[in-house]
A and B are shown apart, each in its own frame.
Chain A
Amino acid sequence: MKTIPGFEHKVASHCETGTLKNLVSFAGMEISEPMVFGLGSGPMFIYLFFAKGPSTLPLIGLRNRPGNVFKFVGKLCGIDFRYEKFCRSRDALARAHHWIDQGIPVGISVDMFYMKYLPEFLRVHAPSHFIVLLGRDEEGYAVSDPYHVDIGHLRREDLEAAMDTHAPLARDNFLITVRGVPARVDWKRAAKKAMNKTVNVMLMPPGVRHLFPFLGIQGMKLYARKVLQWPDKYQGHVLREGILFNAVGFEDQGTGGGAFRLMYGAFLQEVASLFGSSELEAMAESMIEHGQDWRRLSRKLIEIGKEIPLADGEYPGWLRENGDQMNADLRQVSDRFLEKAAFEERFFKDLSGVVSRLD
């Protein structure tokens, strides 16, 4: 299939940051993925204890609302994104054809479930996945997906279903194109603003904190407490799958806790060299160490999950013998997660101080 000449498909750690990076790179602006993530005020923690996620356990989110990275980066860097929303997938695709035929790649928000080129374990109903359409013919579309090493192919039927989901919080039939990129970006100003925004979102004012105990640092603390309740609420393969999915979600699936924190550390390193700030460099190092420790915690979760038998029939017997050990292990995970929350609380308060001293 013929694709838009000059578009360079590159894999990335995360779909929204990767898609944005690939789109603006085509428009002539070079920006690293960590810089996109940092300027987009990406770090967040959301524990929707009342909503079931793609696994058997409640939904966890480790970044800000999908679409916000585009919004914030566009605003801070002066990138002129064109957002177009349609009621029907037919109209959205007609518009996408118009742009593709003019040689303009189109970013869209889709449900990962229909991305047939991805391995099955990634194909969950997650309606906020970002990809770029960069070619079409009668059979379907050529897509650049940051999670896929090659250019993927989608049939029209699958793309329509992926774009028009009617799912809660989905951005259905939503197109993004780049109208223009600025000749020069004041990276220092943009980075300072973005870091302040991230601090505010993670720490939140006290009143807001109590209203939304599942967000930010409070959300991390809530998650740590809920971990202890898992064995009472879930049993057998449901518990096993949930624990393993939490760990894989933290690190691999759409990136997650440890992975996002490492990316934020990389962003801080980049900003530290912009300002020549040793203070910010030290903050970056501690964030990277925090991300690496989070990854170790994910490994611990894997160890716990793997012990649980796959067959539900074996679970009661296994629990009698290993229940105390599992509870002790989950207690350890909970304690370490509370430490992570305490670290982030301290870190973002300190970051606020460091940012105010940057010239």
Chain B
Amino acid sequence: MIVREKGEQYDGSHRVVYYTTDDSGKCVPEHVKSEFDEQIASYYELRVAELARLQDSLLKGEISPIGFFVQYCNMTVQDTAARVRTSPGKVRKHMTPKGFETVKVGTLLRYARVFDIAVGDFFQFTHLAGDLPATVQRFHDRLIARITVGIDTRGDQAK
């Protein structure tokens, strides 16, 4: 998983269709900037804080990488279990550092799909200082990932 020093930034470009009344009292659609842009921006701040908190917890050995991603993706144990096609009890077990050691690669692949990461992301974070560009390419259904830090001169399609 690539972690940027400044975290993800919101550029304020999102637009929504609101229904508002015009001068004649008719309710009409309007494609405008969200009224709640400020709150959306604060969501990004919160994500940075949440990432730091979860990483801390992970490095202290309080949660496993699966526990990290379940919380980071704002998921419940039940929802994760249904998507990974396993039982909630198993997910709870995998969310502990000890239980994580027993997870098979095939199951990790299913988790990776749910969290939209590569299998390697369960084992490492790539911290990027400054504005260094980085791209990730995944192969074999997320089993292998190629991370390119800096400008990719090979012209591969990057994520």
Give the B-binding residues of A (Cβ under 8 A).
Answer: 11-13, 33-34, 51-52, 54-56, 113-114, 116, 119-122, 124-125, 139, 146-147, 149, 157-158, 161, 165-168, 237, 240-241, 244, 247-248, 251-252, 259, 262-263, 265-266, 269, 284-285, 288, 291-292, 295, 299, 302, 305-306, 310-311
The docked-state distance in angstroms from the alpha carbon of A149 to that of B28 is 18
Cβ of B85 and Cβ of A244 under 8 Å apart?
Answer: no
The docked-state distance in angstroms from the alpha carbon of A310 to that of B48 is 11
> What would 9 more interface pairs be, CB under 8 Å, given A119-B10, A284-B27?
A13-B16, A51-B76, A120-B10, A149-B15, A161-B113, A237-B49, A247-B36, A248-B36, A259-B18
Interface of A is mostly: helix
Cβ of B29 and Cβ of A119 under 8 Å apart?
Answer: no
The docked-state distance in angstroms from the alpha carbon of A116 to that of B10 is 14
Cβ of B36 and Cβ of A251 under 8 Å apart?
Answer: yes
| A interface footprint on B27-55 (CB within 8 Å = 1, 0 otherwise) | 11101001110011011111101100000
Which residue of A12, A167, A302 is within 8 Å of B82 (Cβ)?
A167
Q: Does B103 contact A (CB under 8 A)?
A: no
Q: Does B126 contact A (CB under 8 A)?
A: no
Residues of A within 8 A of B8 (CB): 120
| A interface footprint on B56-99 (CB within 8 Å = 1, 0 otherwise) | 00000000000000000111101100111100000000000000
Interface size for chain B: under 10, 10 to 19, 20 to 34, or 35 or more residues? 35 or more
The docked-state distance in angstroms from the alpha carbon of A78 to that of B67 is 49
State the Cβ distance, A121 to closest chain B Cβ, in Å: 5
Cβ of A121 and Cβ of B10 under 8 Å apart?
Answer: yes
Residues of A within 8 A of B31 (CB): 11, 149
Residues of A within 8 A of B116 (CB): 113-114, 158, 161
Cβ of B73 and Cβ of A248 under 8 Å apart?
Answer: no
Cβ of A241 and Cβ of B26 under 8 Å apart?
Answer: no
Cβ of B113 and Cβ of A241 under 8 Å apart?
Answer: no
Cβ of A11 and Cβ of B39 under 8 Å apart?
Answer: no
Known A-B contacts A168-B82, A247-B39; A310 and B49 likewise in contact (beta carbons under 8 Å): yes
Cβ of A306 and Cβ of B36 under 8 Å apart?
Answer: no
Known A-B contacts A310-B42, A310-B45; A262 and B20 likewise in contact (beta carbons under 8 Å): yes
State the Cβ distance, B5 to closest chain A Cβ, in Å: 17
Q: Does B148 contact A (CB under 8 A)?
A: no
Which residue of A116, A241, A288, A292 is within 8 Å of B43 (Cβ)?
A241
The docked-state distance in angstroms from the alpha carbon of A299 to that of B38 is 12
Residues of A within 8 A of B17 (CB): 11-13, 146
Cβ of A167 and Cβ of B27 under 8 Å apart?
Answer: no
Cβ of B36 and Cβ of A125 under 8 Å apart?
Answer: no
Q: Does B138 contact A (CB under 8 A)?
A: yes
Which residue of B18, B36, B44, B142 is within 8 Å of A13 (Cβ)?
B18
Cβ of B19 and Cβ of A259 under 8 Å apart?
Answer: yes
Known A-B contacts A120-B44, A263-B19; A166 and B85 likewise in contact (beta carbons under 8 Å): yes
Q: Does B157 contact A (CB under 8 A)?
A: yes
Q: Does B25 contact A (CB under 8 A)?
A: yes
Cβ of A237 and Cβ of B20 under 8 Å apart?
Answer: no
Interface of B is mostly: mixed
Q: Does B107 contact A (CB under 8 A)?
A: no
The docked-state distance in angstroms from the alpha carbon of A2 to that of B40 is 34
Residues of B within 8 A of A265 (CB): 19, 27
Cβ of B27 and Cβ of A157 under 8 Å apart?
Answer: no
The docked-state distance in angstroms from the alpha carbon of A308 to that of B42 is 12
Q: Would you mind naming 8 contact pairs between A and B with Cβ atoms under 8 Å apart? A: A113-B116, A161-B116, A248-B36, A259-B19, A288-B27, A299-B35, A302-B39, A306-B39
State the Cβ distance, B24 to closest chain A Cβ, in Å: 10
Q: Does B14 contact A (CB under 8 A)?
A: yes
Cβ of B74 and Cβ of A124 under 8 Å apart?
Answer: yes
Cβ of A13 and Cβ of B29 under 8 Å apart?
Answer: yes
- Give residues 107-145 of B contacting A (CB, 8 Å): 113, 116, 138, 141-142
Residues of B within 8 A of A139 (CB): 157
Residues of B within 8 A of A306 (CB): 39, 42
Closest 5 interchain pairs by CB? A266-B27, A262-B19, A13-B17, A52-B76, A121-B43
Cβ of A244 and Cβ of B42 under 8 Å apart?
Answer: yes
Cβ of B50 and Cβ of A237 under 8 Å apart?
Answer: yes
The docked-state distance in angstroms from the alpha carbon of A33 to that of B42 is 31
The docked-state distance in angstroms from the alpha carbon of A146 to that of B17 is 9
Between A13, A125, A147, A285, the greatest number of chain B beta carbons within 10 A of the residue's beta carbon is seen for: A125
Cβ of A167 and Cβ of B79 under 8 Å apart?
Answer: yes
The docked-state distance in angstroms from the alpha carbon of A125 to that of B78 is 13
